[in-house]
Homo-oligomer: A and B are copies of this chain.
């Protein structure tokens, strides 16, 4: 039982209430300069009293704009803190704007499908994607089809687009630097998946630091942050039993850092004594659970928020060249 006036009010309702025409009402609500000041006030008051809310389907049908921003995320990420923080960040970046947030998860094996779907059905005014590759077919596709988008990571394909990226080169360098400062000499890197852009950045920073601090690299098989944790734990155990075992570990993902460290621990070694681990820090819980680790900051919430803002600016016509951020571990927003 609705309290009064059963159906929800439309422009027609307001037109009847005020005795004006429908298009007058429509324009008055959108502050059109063609409408007399007094009329506008009258209409807006009536709208408020009637509890008028524009019908989004009507608007969308007429204007072709959906007022939706969609975040396309790998379902595999769901377990990680990244997913929650990132989504929250985007949603807070969208708060107060006309845009709603829609999550589009996709299955590991087909990353193009959700992008095609969104573009074909025009179900969003803008798209945010993650897990960016240097040559990313999603980026090419959206650019060619005129769908506004922003990426969480950089590409290397000569297409200029809005992005936000974490400076993983600086992260890896800083991680190694801190390990070196604790006297660690043989460092192992649990790298990101090799097809992703930040694999290269991470590697570059890692190697630059090895040179600068004159350290050895412990050559690890290509375990990536996508490998199942049990496998990484096993790799950690193996490495720990190696005659020239590493005494420092760098991992781009908290979960694999934990798993690798667990492997060391299960092999009888003690963290902060026999070895150290440096990884990224995002959730406060992690830090409180494992205070012995070395943490370098990465703020996924801020990344999500920034991407939302960049994307909206891009939709509003701002040039992509001015919508590219790289933020480092220490500083706020650079470049």
**Taking beta carbons and an 8 Å cutoff, which residues of A are in contact with B?**
1-2, 8, 51, 53, 55-58, 60-61, 66, 75, 77-81, 83-85, 87-88, 91-92, 95, 100-105, 120-123, 144-145, 229, 233, 254-255, 258-259, 262, 283-286, 288-291, 301
Contacts and interface: CB of A to CB of B under 8 A. Distances in A.
Given A75-B92, A80-B84, 17 more contacts: A55-B61, A55-B121, A56-B123, A57-B61, A57-B66, A60-B60, A75-B91, A77-B84, A78-B85, A78-B87, A84-B87, A87-B103, A95-B105, A103-B103, A229-B284, A255-B288, A258-B285
Given A61-B55, A101-B102, A121-B53, A79 B284 contact: yes
A121 B229 contact: no
B288 A258 contact: yes
A245 B274 CA distance: 33
- In the A-B complex, the 4 residue pairs with the smallest Cβ-Cβ separation, listed nearest first, are A78-B88, A57-B60, A84-B84, A57-B61
A144 B61 CA distance: 30
B100 A88 contact: no
9 contacts: A56-B121, A75-B92, A78-B88, A88-B105, A101-B104, A254-B285, A258-B288, A259-B288, A262-B288
A57 B88 CA distance: 27
How many copies of this protein are present in the complex? 2
